[in-house]
Structure 1
Amino acid sequence: MQSFDYIIVGQGIAGSLLGYQLIKAGRRVMVLNDESIPTSSAVAGGIFNPITGKNLDKTWLADTIFPYFKTFYLSLEKETHSHFYHETNLFRPYANEQQRKHFLRLTDEFDLDKYISLVKPDRYSEIENHLGGLYTTSAGWVDVPLMIESLRQLFIQSEAYKAERFDYKALDISDTQVVYKNFQASKIIFCEGYYASQNPYFNWLPFNPAKGETLIATMPDYSITEIVNQGTWIIPLGSEQCRFGSTYVWNSLDWQTTPESKETITEKTDKFLKTSYTITHQQAGIRPTTKDRRPFLGNHPAYSNVFVFNGLGTKGVSLAPYFASELLFFLENDKDLLPESNIRRFYSLYSL
């Protein structure tokens, strides 16, 4: 029987960054990950953006989490000898005069100078921007598959990883420990993304999963280095490659790409993109979004050593570093979790 402090189930963004932070804290960790199933992390656009939506809403906790994850990711890049963090900022060209006036009114009304600056018309030749637009600083994207693979190799080197599908029936929980096959640990943490819907311990949580599809395109004549967002977004990946996205579907939750989503993305993109492109790939994933748009952290109401870290939704790369740290301090030092993230807010939904 091998002994650990923590067993982590799942190696998406949540499981990867929590496992890493626990190992850095000197804890013995075993990450169990089913490599045979598709995951949203494998196809995520990985955008981080402090100002979002048609009303220029500031991302929840932006002033705290954005400085935190920048320092975290840059440090992680050095340790893993990889480059997955891209602070490219984001340009939002005005779609029409009505939107231009709306955005200008919002920038005057709210204190957004820290994150927003105005861009004069016709800054870029590859896209339609004759009215100008907004330039958002502190934005960018994370190459999520590369980061996760870099951390997987770190886990393997630390003898903290095993590829296997988790069998809930093989889990034995007592007051003092959990036992899973030939592993025993003080605590187990489920970080399964969308697949938490199949987890008998946490399937009562109010997830609101959304399927999303993205496209990979080749654009030899596209030189914009910022993310461009006008209904759909374009992420420059380098080597003449860009990612277009994304769709949101709350029914038909499967991992299959569809011609309808391809058409939706290309039609919206063609409204502002003036450069020719060739679609080379199409990908689909299911985001573990939640009904209140806040993550799920904390311990099971009936089992004090069973925990969850999930529900990061569309903002996984922004939220995961900070909340992995928050969960670590909760696990190790009994530090209170933010009420907005603690699953205690949904204990009333649980029944034995």
Structure 2
Amino acid sequence: MKQLDYIIVGQGIAGSFLAYQLMRADKKVLVLNDETLPTSSQVAGGIFNPITGKNLDKTWLADQIFPYLKSFYSSLENEFHTKFYHETNLYRPFANEQQQKHFLRLTDEYDLGNYIKIVQSDNVDYQQVVNDLGGLYTSSAGWVNVPKMLEILRDFFKNKESYQAQKIDNCQLQISENSIVYKAFQAKRIIFCEGYYSLQNPLFNWIPFNPAKGETLLADVESYNISEIVNQGFWIIPLGNDKCRFGSTYIWDRLDWEPSESSKELISSKISKFLTLPYKITGQEAGIRPTTKDRRPFIGNHPLHKNVYIFNGLGTKGVSLAPYFAEKMLDFLESDKVLMSEANIERFYSLYSL
């Protein structure tokens, strides 16, 4: 029987980063990943943005998370000699005078000077979108090519003989006080990083997820040369070579993995309101985000089994939160450091029943 320190279930953003951090700490890790299942990580837009929403909300822990993620992704790119992290920053053209007044008032009230500056309406950099009133430019924003990054990490795990493409069978999982036994493997601990599929895991199906389906479009936009993400409720990510990604929808009442015509029409109509160039839709993708009711991650011990853990619930901000919290999870597992109470699943232990 092969001896391990950790079994990690799932190779999305959460599972990949946690496995990587543990392996860097010289731990023996096995990643089990069902490659037949669709995942939100594989279709994610991968946007990171410190200032979000109609009220210019500062992303939770932004001052800690954003410097960390920049360092982490840059280091990962250097290690694997590739490019998947794009700090393009973000531009929000004002949709109307009411929104303009609202945003300008908020920039005066909040201390957002480290992240936001005002762009005037005559700026030539944004002639390919409706920009009659100017807008807000957000720094420290951008996007990550998540599928490319996960493929690189999967190859890394495979080369280390730390990866198997298989669906875990919970019926074959033997949990005792001192070990985890699964088929031919014995581990000290097991960590579930299953995204939306945790709702089907009998060990963690009591946690209050609030999953949301999201859809995006791929498009050819001839001569598009805006380097920033443009966001006016719906967004345009420049992929290069006149290719863009448009998004995104949030659907809570129809959780399937199939692209829908209604979402295609909605995204197209919203983008057409501010994009002045013609475009051609070339693809459509759908995923289910593992979002949570309180918009905080689910990290920590199972209430009964102290060697069973979860690292999940990163939701729409996965590329922002995962690097930082993977390190915090490592500190919790290996150095007995206390997890942040806002992320620790202990906050929901009262929902668990034997």
TM-score class, shorter: over 0.9
> 2:294 aligns to what SS in structure 1?
coil
Query: Superposed, which structure 2 residues align to 1:93-242 within 5 Å?
Result: 93-123=93-123, 124-242=126-244
Distance 1:333 1:87 in 2: 32
Give the structure 1 partner of residue 74 of structure 2: 74
Distance 2:3 2:84 in 1: 33
Whether 1:288 aligns to 2:301 is no
> 1:16 aligns to what SS in structure 2?
helix
8 Å CA contact 1:122–1:128 kept in 2: the answer is no
Distance 2:170 2:82 in 1: 35
Which stretch shifts more, 121-130 or 251-260? 121-130
Distance 1:340 1:73 in 2: 25
List, as ranges, runs of 4+ consecutive aligned residues in structure 1 with deviation greater than 2 Å. none
Per-residue Cα deviation, 1:41-96 (whole angstroms, up to 9, x for no partner): 00000000000000000000000010001000000011122211000000000000
Give the structure 2 partner of residue 331 of structure 1: 333
Whether 1:4 aligns to 2:21 is no
Distance 2:185 2:81 in 1: 31
Distance 2:153 2:78 in 1: 12
Distance 2:290 2:4 in 1: 28
Return the offset for 1:239.
Answer: 1.6
Distance 1:173 1:79 in 2: 36
Equivalent position amino acid for 1:307 in 2: Y
Equivalent position amino acid for 1:242 in 2: C
Unaligned segments of structure 1, at least 5 residues: none
Return the offset for 1:37.
Answer: 0.6
Return the offset for 1:122.
Answer: 3.5
Distance 1:241 1:324 in 2: 32
Which stretch shifts more, 119-128 or 170-179? 119-128
Equivalent position amino acid for 1:302 in 2: L
Distance 1:343 1:80 in 2: 33
Per-residue Cα deviation, 1:87-124 (whole angstroms, up to 9, x for no partner): 00000000000100111100001110000000010421
Equivalent residue for 1:276, pick from 271, 275, 278: 278
Whether 1:25 aligns to 2:25 is yes
8 Å CA contact 1:80–1:154 kept in 2: the answer is no
TM-score (norm 2): 0.99
Distance 1:149 1:46 in 2: 15
Return the offset for 1:225.
Answer: 0.5
Aligned positions, number: 352
Query: Superposed, which structure 2 residues align to 1:294-305 within 5 Å?
Result: 294-305=296-307
TM-score (norm 1): 0.99
Return the offset for 1:193.
Answer: 0.2
Equivalent position amino acid for 1:90 in 2: L
Distance 2:49 2:339 in 1: 24
Distance 1:94 1:240 in 2: 24
Return the offset for 1:220.
Answer: 1.6
Distance 1:203 1:240 in 2: 43
> 1:203 aligns to what SS in structure 2?
coil
Distance 1:125 1:65 in 2: 33
8 Å CA contact 1:90–1:139 kept in 2: the answer is yes
Give the structure 1 partner of residue 90 of structure 2: 90
Return the offset for 1:348.
Answer: 0.1
> 1:104 aligns to what SS in structure 2?
helix
> 2:237 aligns to what SS in structure 1?
strand
Could you say what the CA RMSD is over the residues aligned between the two structures, in angstroms? 0.5
Give the structure 2 partner of residue 60 of structure 1: 60
Distance 2:82 2:298 in 1: 29
> 1:55 aligns to what SS in structure 2?
coil
Equivalent position amino acid for 1:232 in 2: F
Distance 1:8 1:81 in 2: 26
8 Å CA contact 1:190–1:308 kept in 2: the answer is yes
Query: Superposed, which structure 2 residues align to 1:257-276 within 5 Å?
Result: 257-276=259-278
Equivalent position amino acid for 2:342 in 1: E
